Amino acid sequence: MGPVEHLHMSVFSQSFSPCGRFLAAGNNYGEIVVFSLSSALSPDATDLSQKPILTFTAHEGPVFSLLSTDSHLLSAGNGEISAWSWAELIKRNTKAAWTKRPNYKSSLEIPEINAMTINPTENSLVIGGGDNNIHIMDLESGVFKSVLQGHTDYIHCLSVREREGEILSGSEDGAVRIWDYRTGQSVHCIEVYKYEECARPQYGKWISCLTTDSDWMLCGGGPSLSLWHLRSMSPTSIFPLSGCQRQANFYQDMILSVGEGQCVSHCLLGGEVKAQIPCTPHSLNTLALNLNSTEHRVLTVGGSSHQMDVFTNLSYRTFSLSF
């Protein structure tokens, strides 16, 4: 890959291996790279340790979503999902274990897949994207068993509330829908942009990030990043972050968020922005916490750059991995 491609690279997705020693990242060119975190974090690491141990083309379009099961890396491209065995990837073998396409209405339709999450209760894969629908695939059989319909525009983000039997989805149409995954029915629809304290008409109404933790939901995009109590269905905190947020996570008693702008924001649950930590990319798409390994516990951040930042301490960038 030449300097021009490097200059225009964006990292959209990332996922840690089940053992926590490796990090996979997907970019706008359809490539997946695998980094060895154990090499990059070792005391005698060199510049080479911060380069990928493997680079391969997985899809024709951008890799918008990556996800790991206990044995496979799942990647989403335009209209398809592929699975790669982690054991094989570590041996530098890049043959896909399988590739599946959801049951789209027409064979000409190739919607991008923007979001994937796993529903552990049912051992199913939940995917959302450009056809406005949520498709649910049984991971055991590889069969797409149901479609949840209700959004009127692209789906950007998904979350599962296992205990409640619910799937949450955020869309370009401005709504967060809550679905009962046992019946396939939409049980609630929250139009975030209609709440005055969240609305930012200058950015639009789309929902680009969504995550849940027991009775709490974080969501944002066009509207401000906000924390919602799902029993009362009301926003309890609004975070005064500029630009659209693209990913936000709960971490201990804090919220970590990235989006337009060069910083990881640390926010308190009450709505206060505690710190903004500078990163290499000018705009950020993805953040991930490696909770699979205590030895390699890091925060990694990617965006509009061929470099991904690694934080061993949340207060500052330790080094960058480089495509």
* pLDDT tens digits for range 210-253: 999 989 999 999 999 999 999 999 999 999 999 999 999 999 99
Phi, psi angle pair for 40, to nearest 5° = -65, -30
Smallest Cα–Cα separation from 208: which of 171, 233, 177, 237? Answer: 171
Q: Considering the domain boundaries, does residue 122 fall inside one? A: yes
1 pLDDT more than 90:
no
CATH number of the domain at 156, please: 2.130.10.10
Tell me the C-alpha distance between 74 and 82, whole Å. 6
Tell me the C-alpha distance between 84 and 172, whole Å. 30
pLDDT band at 108 (very low <50, low <70, confident <90, very high): confident
Give the residue with greater pLDDT, 7 vs 55.
Answer: 55
Mean pLDDT of 305-312: 97
The token pair at 52 is 């990928």
Amino acid at 43: P
Q: How far apart are the first and last CA of the chain?
A: 9
Element housing 19 (H / E): none
Q: Considering the domain boundaries, does residue 221 fall inside one? A: yes
**Chain centroid to CA 74:** 12
The pLDDT, as a whole number, for residue 21 is 97
Tell me the C-alpha distance between 244 and 221, whole Å. 5
Mean pLDDT of 109-136: 95
The token pair at 213 is 């933790």
Strand partners, 289: 299
pLDDT band at 7 (very low <50, low <70, confident <90, very high): confident
Q: Considering the domain boundaries, does residue 236 fall inside one? A: yes
The pLDDT, as a whole number, for residue 226 is 98
Q: What is the pTM of this model?
A: 0.95
Strand partners, 180: 166, 185
Q: Considering the domain boundaries, does residue 271 fall inside one? A: no
Q: Considering the domain boundaries, does residue 151 fall inside one? A: yes
pLDDT band at 307 (very low <50, low <70, confident <90, very high): very high
The pLDDT, as a whole number, for residue 44 is 92
pLDDT band at 160 (very low <50, low <70, confident <90, very high): very high
Domains of the chain: total: 1
Cα-Cα-Cα-Cα torsion 285, 291, 295, 298, nearest 10 degrees, comes to 20
Residues making up the chain, counted from first to last: 323
Amino acid at 204: G
Q: Considering the domain boundaries, does residue 196 fall inside one? A: yes
pLDDT band at 47 (very low <50, low <70, confident <90, very high): very high
The pLDDT, as a whole number, for residue 6 is 83
* Gyration radius of the chain over CA positions: 19
Task: Report DSSP letters for 52-94, one per residue.
Answer: -SEEEE--SS---EEEE-SSEEEEE-BS-EEEEEHHHHHTT--
pLDDT band at 57 (very low <50, low <70, confident <90, very high): very high
Mean pLDDT of 26-32: 97
Tell me the C-alpha distance between 240 and 261, whole Å. 14
Task: Report percent pLDDT > 90 for the chain.
Answer: 93
Cβ atoms of residues 126 and 155 within 8 Å: no
109 pLDDT more than 90:
no
CB atoms within 10 A of CB 63: 27
- pLDDT tens for residues 191-201? 999 999 999 99
State the residue range of the domain holding 201. 112-251
The pLDDT, as a whole number, for residue 300 is 98
The pLDDT, as a whole number, for residue 257 is 98
Contacts of 250 (CB under 8 A, 6+ apart): 211, 213, 216, 218
5 pLDDT more than 90:
no
Q: Considering the domain boundaries, does residue 164 fall inside one? A: yes
Q: Considering the domain boundaries, does residue 301 fall inside one? A: no
